Amino acid sequence: MSLPSHIRSLWLRCRDLLYRIPNPPRDILVTAVLLCGAYCASSILISHTGGENNSALVFVLAVTIISSLTTGYFYGILASIVGTFCINIYFMEPYATFTLNRTGYPVAMLSMVAISCVVCALTTRVKQQAAEAIRREKNTKTLYEINQKLNEEKAAIQLESARETIRGNILRAVSHDLRTPLTAISGAASVLLGSPEISEKNLSMLQDIKSDADALIIMVENLLSVTRIQDGSMPLKKREEMLEEVAGDAILTTRRRFPGVHVELELSEDILYLPMEPLLVKQVMVNLLENAIRHSGDREHITLHLFRQDDWAVVEVRDRGKGLSPEICQAVQSGKPLNRDLSGDATRGMGIGLSVCQSIIKAHNGFFAADNNPEGGAVFRFGLPMEEKSDE
Amino acid sequence: MSEKRTILVIEDEHAISNFICRALSANDYKAIPAASGKEGLSLFFSHSPDLVLLDLGLPDMDGLEVLSQLSGLPRETPVIIISARDRESEKVKALDMGADDYVVKPFGVSELLARIRTTLRRADRMKVSQGIQRSVYQVKDLTIDIAKHQVIQAGEQVHFTQNEFKILELLAIHAGKVLTYDFILEHVWGPYSSNSNNQILRVNMANIRRKLHENPSAPKYIYTELGIGYRMLED
């Protein structure tokens, strides 16, 4: 490190130390120290050179430094006046006396005061301008940072909305591209099933084709709903709907798919008219009915029961089948995603079916529970709030 | 009727159009497939079919546009809409524009055939009656006597409020046709009915169901078209 940089760092350190002292005492201290320094320097100079003009310059220098280190004009001007008197008293003949009798003395004193004042004023102004410049730079920097942050956020939002559009498009495309051929497969199979020239052997295969295509159609609907709800990209399209009409539709759909099964709807005396996305709620009912039909072993006493309990519209699907294991009840209650082993025979994606129910009910701020009926059989129960919560 | 009824199938998906046409010809209809809206319109004018099956998602033009061109004609041909599940507002618009019924993809053959039968029967009845309104409607064991303002179910009179009767009357006059909520609201409560009336309509309907001991899972008289409207079974 070179010498000037050494001095510079030393100076910076001293200045930092200095700035740590609180203000009025600091300025007083600076003024006192520098005036003493100027006095000492002048004393040394006068003993070596014998001239008195040097002392004035030394004091002007001291005043300059004082005004650059202190705040405001006050200390600079004070120092210049003190300095002038000091010179007059200590460094001009007759020494140790204040005198204005010598020719030129008053002029010299006044000009000394004037020069000191001007220097002080200039220094202060420069200081103020520097402070202003620093402040402006800081503002600009803050503005720049805020601007940059805003830009980043904007880009993120744009990216997110673009992603959502793409996601929506993919969902639509998938739904169309899967539904259409499945409809065609199922439809073609049922046309062939109705035609007289099909042999017994082929008939059962055709029935398999049709029922598998129908099951796939349901699964596609389930997958679409669950992706839609779970990634939260599309909000529910809620509207007020009569629950018994949704339930009736769900049962008609189920009967169409399982013609031999006996499913009943038990209505509530209360009118259950509440906000929901009807197709999703219907899907929950269809899934629960299908679950009962496939897994309970009972095909005769499946009922869908609607009633009102306090502020909830409750839907129960009951069967008289073999009932549920405690693990399934617990898994349904906990709201954790059901794993495939728990849903027993995982064929036809019944694991998916129940977790679709969970997601749909959760998105409606409802509850979902599973239990065993003391009289035998399983009960799946879900409730939807009668009124929309105000925070939504 | 000895002559085969002609049905124009405007559907761009070949596989779907194919099985619909097969199902139609297996059930003694004459099916004419059209793969685009333009082709459909030109076939419509050259063949004048008895019924049109119209897919709303066509490649060349909006299905609703095709519908508006079909429904503006003097000789009214019934139209059944084929639409995707999640396009409810589109279905409602099509029904309000004069379509008679709709099926939703994925649909089954028997469902489609049942809707076609109903719609054709209704169209025939309209042709016979020439717009003259009957005063008594009969659905199974339910009799709706508009002149006497009376509803009789299995020999017993059932009492309804003014609005409930108006709804029943409207459904009976249009039996077999899906009536949208807006259509019913406009005809029962007048053209300036607001959205809150929708709730009143739905509650009225729930009450009608209770008075008729009608279970929506096994409808005897009134079918619910979820999110769209209601339809009374034709006699």
Residues of B in Cβ contact (< 8 Å) with A188: 15, 18-19, 22
Tell if the CB–CB gap between A217 and B106 is shorter than 8 Å: yes
pLDDT score recorded for residue B231: 92
CB < 8 Å from B in window 28-87 of A: none
Mean pLDDT, residues A50-62: 73
Measure in Å the smallest separation between the Cα of A287 and chain B Cα atoms: 16
Q: Is A198 on the interface with B (CB under 8 A)?
A: no
Distance separating alpha carbons of residues A244 and B153, to the nearest angstrom: 22
pLDDT at B100 over 80: yes
Instruction: Quick: pLDDT tens for A228-273.
Output: 776 665 677 888 899 999 999 999 989 888 888 999 999 888 889 9
Residues of B in contact with A267 (CB under 8 A): 215-216
Tokens coding A53: 């003009």
How many CB atoms are located within 10 Å of the residue A102 CB?
A: 12
Class of domain A239-385: alpha beta
Could you give the C-alpha distances from A73 to A31, A33, A83, A108, A116, in angstroms and in order? Answer: 12, 18, 15, 22, 11
| Chain B residue set in contact with A, beta carbons under 8 Å | 13, 15-16, 18-20, 22-23, 26, 57, 84-86, 105-111, 198-199, 202-203, 205-206, 209, 215-219, 224, 226-227
Task: Tell the burial category of A181 from Cβ atoms under 10 Å away from its Cβ (0-12, 13-18, 19+).
Answer: middle
Per-residue HEC secondary structure of A120-164 comes to: HHHHHHHHHHHHHHHHHHHHHHHHHHHHHHHHHHHHHHHHHHHHH
CA distances from A344 to A347, A360, B101 (A): 9, 22, 41
pLDDT greater than 70 at residue A50: no
Q: Which of A97, A124, A116 is nearest to A57 (CA)?
A: A116
Other Cβ atoms closer than 10 A to A159: 10
> Do the beta carbons of residue A219 and residue A352 sit within 8 Å?
yes
pLDDT of A343 over the 50 cut: no
Residue A314 clears pLDDT 90, i.e. is over it:
yes
Tokens 């709730």, located at residue: B199
Per CB-CB distance under 8 Å, the chain B contacts of A219 are none
Q: What pLDDT is stored for residue A339 in this prediction?
A: 55
CB spacing of B215 vs A278 below 8 angstroms: no
How far apart are the two ends of chain B, measured CA to CA in Å? Answer: 19
**Does A25 score more than 60 pLDDT?**
yes
Residue pLDDT, tens place only, A26-49: 888 888 888 888 888 888 877 777
Give the residue extent of every domain in chain A. 5-147, 239-385
Average pLDDT, chain A: 81
- Please, which pLDDT band fits residue A316 given cuts at 50, 70 and 90? very high
Residue A264 contacts B where some CB pair is shorter than 8 Å: yes
Alpha carbon distances (Å) from B216 to A170, A249, A283, B73, B126:
36, 7, 17, 36, 28
Taking residues A337-356, report their average pLDDT.
58
Average pLDDT value for residue range A161-188: 80
Q: Say which amino acid occupies A372.
A: N
Using an 8 Å Cβ cutoff, are A185 and A193 in contact?
no
User: CA-nearest residue of chain A to B84?
Assistant: A176
What does the buried/exposed string (b/e) look like for B16-55 if buried means 16 or more CB atoms within 10 Å of the residue's CB?
bbbbbbbbbebbebbbbbbbbbebbbebbeeeebbbbbbb
Whole-model pTM? Answer: 0.69
Question: What chain A residue is nearest to B109 in terms of C-alpha separation?
Answer: A187
Q: Does A168 touch chain B (CB under 8 A)?
A: no
Report CB contact under 8 Å: B86, A175: yes
**SS3 track for chain A:** CCHHHHHHHHHHHHHHHHHHCCHHHHHHHHHHHHHHHHHHHHHHHHHHHCCCHHHHHHHHHHHHHHHHHCCCCHHHHHHHHHHHHHHHHHCCCCCCCCCCCCCCHHHHHHHHHHHHHHHHHHHHHHHHHHHHHHHHHHHHHHHHHHHHHHHHHHHHHHHHHHHHHHHHHHHHHHHHHHHHHHHHHHHHHHHHHHCCCCCHHHHHHHHHHHHHHHHHHHHHHHHHHHHHHHCCCCCCCCEEEEHHHHHHHHHHHHHHHCCCCCEEEECCCCCCEEEECHHHHHHHHHHHHHHHHHHCCCCCCEEEEEEEECCEEEEEEECCCCCCCHHHHHHHHHCCCCCCCCCCCCHHHHHHHHHHHHHHHHHCCCEEEEEECCCCCEEEEEEEECCCCCCC
Q: How much is the pLDDT for A68?
A: 77
Average pLDDT over residues A92-102: 70
Nearest neighbour of A191 by CB, restricted to B13, B19, B217: B19
Q: Measuring CA to CA, which residue among B180, B183, B185, B187 is closest to residue B224? A: B180
Which residue from B140, B59, B142, B53 is spatially nearest to B105, judged by alpha carbons?
A: B53
Tell if the CB–CB gap between A187 and B226 is shorter than 8 Å.
no
* Yes or no, beta carbons of B23 and A194 under 8 Å apart: yes
Chain A residue with minimal CA distance to B229? A245
Inter-chain contact A187–B217, Cβ cutoff 8 Å? no
